[in-house]
Amino acid sequence: MAANKVYLGVIGVGGVGTAFLSQLARLPNAPALVLLARSTQTLTAPAPAYAPAIPPSDWACAAASPSINKSGPMTPQEIVSYLSAAPGRSVLVDNTSDPALASSYPLFLRAGISIVTPNKKGFSSDLSLWKDIFSAAAAGSALVYHESTVGAGLPVISTLRDLVATGDEVTRIEGVFSGTLSFLFNTFAPVSGSSDAQWSQVVAQAKQLGYTEPDPRDDLNGMDVARKLTILARIAGVDVQSPTSFPVESLIPAELASLPSTAEGIEQFMARLPEFDGQMSAIKADAEKNGKVVRYVGSIDVGKKEVKVGLQQFDKDSAIAGLKGSDNIISFYTKRYGANPLIVQGAGAGGDVTAMGVSADLIKVVERLSKI
């Protein structure tokens, strides 16, 4: 048994999962992929040798190979049992957004299985789960890396953790945390020139370009931003109970919020959204009257332990107002950095960049585990 050999289980082969497997295939000294699970099927390398491994670049063909075991979906406990029996340390990469799987992270961690994931649910749900995840990691001598839960591949979480770990005093965090909402407001209320586009037209354009979720209300309700703020606030030392425990401004007209999340309901929402264009035009006009632009931001006041998400007006020469396309920007105000914040900016969404964050986390975990 090679004590420093690392075995890998991967759950989820959607957009991020597929991009991750492509990147994994090109990583030097990559861990052996011994479990690959999707909604309908689980592939596993046969025990006790846990070989041959599943080739990440050709996993679909491996499903037809007689040397790879095939089964239906496995429960978290079954996956724990399988990975725990591997002849070395194991890592689970969760590329889903499944809240049930995220709530099972402590089960994996107590068994010594490290976690790498872009899944926000485990880190932004009830505070008790957050605490359980990290206490379980300590108990199982396992590692937890989740850089891509905030800002995709941008070094947001690692930057904040470094600030905190080195004793800097983080006073405030502020930024645009949604690539979708960044695109919407950069298009609807640009800094230079004027836009005659109506809000509903911009939302329709973003949906057509694939910037929004299938149901744009999943972006417009602000909860994705709220989850990211919850994670950062907790790392900064603010014990936020849940993403619904602080003010989150929804951009969904109240009259349309109760439409069903079905194809028909989404179609109704898009058809009726123009009825409310006047409300957003008035918000934009109010900002323009003040010589500013409106943006959808999240902010954390660490000292006051206050978190909020919603619309704010910004000077046209500010970094937030000057964002382009669907970029994110996160500003860390700290004692060391003084009046000029440490700024992380760039593409904060997309399968490839999100997978890059996951791959980078996996490299760090494998390096640490290989030395144990």
Catalogue the active-site residues: 228
Distance CA 188, CA 311 (A): 13
> E-assigned strands of the chain?
6-11, 32-37, 42-44, 69-71, 89-94, 114-116, 144-145, 170-176, 292-301, 306-315, 327-334, 342-347
Distance CA 230, CA 224 (A): 10
**What are the Cα distances from residue 237, in Å, to 166, 211, 214, 255, 332?**
14, 32, 34, 37, 14
Residues 6+ positions from 364 with CB-CB distance below 8 Å: 145
> E-assigned strands of 22-86?
32-37, 42-44, 69-71
Distance CA 184, CA 91 (A): 37
DSSP tally for the chain: helices H, then strands E: 15, 12
Give the number of other CB atoms < 10 A from CB of residue 345.
19
Give the number of C-alpha atoms closer than 13 A to the C-alpha of residue 32, restricted to the C-beta side: 20
Residue that has been written with the tokens 């323009």 in this structure: 288
Distance CA 334, CA 164 (A): 10
Nearest to 177 by CA among 336, 16, 331: 331
Distance CA 47, CA 177 (A): 43
**What are the Cα distances from residue 211, in Å, to 136, 203, 219, 270?**
36, 9, 10, 15
Amino acid at 268: Q
Q: Token pair for residue 52?
A: 């041959």
